[in-house]
Structure 1
Amino acid sequence: MIYTVTFNPSLDYIVEVDSFQAGKVNRTVSEKIFPGGKGINVSIVLKNLGIESVALGFIAGFTGDQIEQRVKEHGCKTDFIRIQDGMSRINVKLKSEEESEINGRGPQIGAQTLQVLYDKLNLLENGDILVLAGSISNTIPENIYEIICGRMAEKNVRVVVDATRNLLLNVLKFHPFLIKPNHHELGELFNRKLEDKDDIVFYAKELQKIGARNVLVSMAGNGAVFVGENGKTFRNPAPKGVVVNSVGAGDSMVAGFLAGYLHDGNYEEAFRLGLAAGSASAFSAELATEEKIHELLKLI
């Protein structure tokens, strides 16, 4: 089974305004509400591809109820941990001539609540896959990914990590199955600006030397690079299309890669399906559907 963890999920309230003016009353021309969070996105796209997963994380208040309801409406299984005080955050995405965001803080998560998560993760079995994705709130220990990866290493659970800076670097000693930085995040780890695919391959291999088994690097419109534990490297441009919404594209790439890998264990096909899934979400108003993913897969 695949399990995804979203530490600080949200309701994403996406509004579009013609010619937004600060300090004045503005009327929306469109409004949408989605459940937000990188792990949740992975679960939704996996379900769209026919792969079951369980979405874990923390929810609180009426917004938490809405998050869970909307994730279930996508057909996903959930096992969220309810916090009695506070409420899950609302993130406002304002689209006009420029795009702006206002992100909420989320509820306080204490030691006892974290222990509930640890107890759930203790039930994972050898061969399961655990996806740790996204940032954490300031109420969670900074080494939370490291703690969890250490626990999973004892159980031979395949861990996927999509995070930045120390959240990512500190787990490499546990040899995660897959990490997925984008090329900007990869460059930040080595204090470099990376645009050339050869340079990206080089530094992806440096992360392998530190401990990562497989490294998948997304490059937005320039495609992606994959460096595998079997010594093979793949690089491919993204299929052509009009970018509608980049939110969730990287998460969709993770989901597509896992779906492809679970099909027959072929890293090349996993890479192709990951690239197709990431592009399909970028070219869509919502997360990638199976139909759109397989349409783009023919172009890769």
Structure 2
Amino acid sequence: MIYTITFNPALDYIMVVPSCRSGEVNRTESEKIMAGGKGINVSIVLNNMGVENTALGFISGFTGGAIENILADMNCKTDFIKLDNGFSRINVKIKSDAETEINGQGPDISDGAVKKLYEKLDSLNDGDTLVLAGSIPSSLSDSIYCEIMDYLKDKKLNIVVDATKDLLVNVLKYKPFLVKPNNHEIGEIFGVELKTRSEVVPYAKKMQEMGAKNVLVSMAGEGAVFVGENGEVYESEAPKGKLVNSTGAGDSMVAGFLAGYMEKQDFMYALKMGLSAGSASAFSENLATKEEILNVFKTI
């Protein structure tokens, strides 16, 4: 079973405004509301691919209820902890001449709520996969990822971490099964600029030396690099297609990789599925469906 954790889920309110002018009344051309958050995105794509999983996290208020209802309508399994205070955040994304995002803060998460999360994690079994993805709300310790991995260290889990900067670096000592930075994020960690796949490889290996078992580096239009615990190194160009929406593409890559690995236990196949899922989402207005992913897979 795969579990994802999203500490700060959101309603993404996406508005297309032909010409957005500051200080004036602007009207939308189209709009939609989606459930958002990196872990939730992973869960949605896994669900679209027919891979059973459960989305964990914290929700609150009427917006939290809306997030839960949206996922229920998509037949996504959830086991959220409901907070007594505040409301789950709303992220406003304005698509115009330029893209503008205003991300909400979200509710405070109490120690009691965190304890309930640990109680849910107690039910994980050896062989399960846990995905830790995204930023940490200000009400929680920056070390929460490390604390969770330390708590679960006696279980034989495959833990996947998709995070940035210190949040990612600090978990490496716990030997996560997979980490997925993009080329800009891994470059920021090591203080370099990485533009090509060949430039990425030695730094992905450095992350292995720091503890990561497997490193998957997404590179948008440049494709991806995978460095595996068995010593294998795979590089691939990005599939051809028109970029429609980059939001959730990296999360889709994580989902596709996990779905592929669970199916065949083969890293090359998993990378191709990851690339296919990430690209299919980038080529779509919404997160990719199984049909869209398989159509892209045929082109790799």
Place the TM-score, normalised by the shorter chain, in its bin.
over 0.9
* Deviation string, structure 1 residues 115-142 (Cα, Å, up to 9, x no partner): 1111111111110000000001111111
Match of 1:37 in 2: 37
Match of 2:25 in 1: 25
- 1:200 corresponds to which letter in structure 2? V
1:24-103 maps to which residues of 2 (within 5 A)? 24-103=24-103
Match of 1:177 in 2: 177
Match of 1:270 in 2: 270
Matched, 1:201 2:201: yes
Task: Calculate the aligned-residue CA RMSD, in Å.
Answer: 0.6
Q: Is the 8 A contact 2:180 2:218 kept in 1?
A: yes
| Matched position secondary structure for 1:50 | coil
Name whichever of 87-96 and 110-119 sits farther off.
110-119
Q: For residues 266 and 18 of structure 2, what CA distance do their matches in structure 1 show?
A: 47
The CA deviation at 1:110 is 1.3
Match of 1:135 in 2: 135
Q: Is the 8 A contact 2:197 2:222 kept in 1?
A: no
1:122-161 maps to which residues of 2 (within 5 A)? 122-161=122-161
- 1:265 corresponds to which letter in structure 2? Q
Match of 2:120 in 1: 120
Matched, 1:260 2:260: yes
Match of 2:2 in 1: 2
Q: For residues 151 and 273 of structure 1, what CA distance do their matches in structure 2 show?
A: 31
Q: Is the 8 A contact 2:196 2:222 kept in 1?
A: no
| Matched position secondary structure for 1:28 | coil
Q: For residues 290 and 245 of structure 2, what CA distance do their matches in structure 1 show?
A: 17
1:204-283 maps to which residues of 2 (within 5 A)? 204-283=204-283
Segments of 4+ moved more than 2 angstroms:
none
The CA deviation at 1:112 is 1.0
Percent identity reads 58
The CA deviation at 1:235 is 0.6
Q: For residues 186 and 72 of structure 1, what CA distance do their matches in structure 2 show?
A: 35
The CA deviation at 1:196 is 2.1
- 1:235 corresponds to which letter in structure 2? E
Q: For residues 269 and 259 of structure 2, what CA distance do their matches in structure 1 show?
A: 10
The CA deviation at 1:58 is 0.3
- 1:39 corresponds to which letter in structure 2? G
The CA deviation at 1:74 is 1.4
| Matched position secondary structure for 2:57 | strand
Q: For residues 194 and 152 of structure 1, what CA distance do their matches in structure 2 show?
A: 34
Q: For residues 235 and 281 of structure 1, what CA distance do their matches in structure 2 show?
A: 20
Q: For residues 220 and 84 of structure 1, what CA distance do their matches in structure 2 show?
A: 39
Structure 1: segments with no counterpart, 5+ residues = none
Name whichever of 194-203 and 53-62 sits farther off.
194-203
The TM-score normalised by the length of structure 1 is 0.99
Q: For residues 104 and 12 of structure 1, what CA distance do their matches in structure 2 show?
A: 10
The CA deviation at 1:75 is 1.2
Q: For residues 152 and 290 of structure 1, what CA distance do their matches in structure 2 show?
A: 32
- 2:123 corresponds to which letter in structure 1? L
| Matched position secondary structure for 2:152 | helix
Q: For residues 231 and 6 of structure 2, what CA distance do their matches in structure 1 show?
A: 31
- 1:133 corresponds to which letter in structure 2? A
**Count of aligned pairs between the two proteins:** 300
The CA deviation at 1:194 is 0.7
* Deviation string, structure 1 residues 190-248 (Cα, Å, up to 9, x no partner): 01111121220100000000100000000001110000001111111111111110000
Match of 2:167 in 1: 167
| Matched position secondary structure for 2:59 | strand
Match of 2:11 in 1: 11
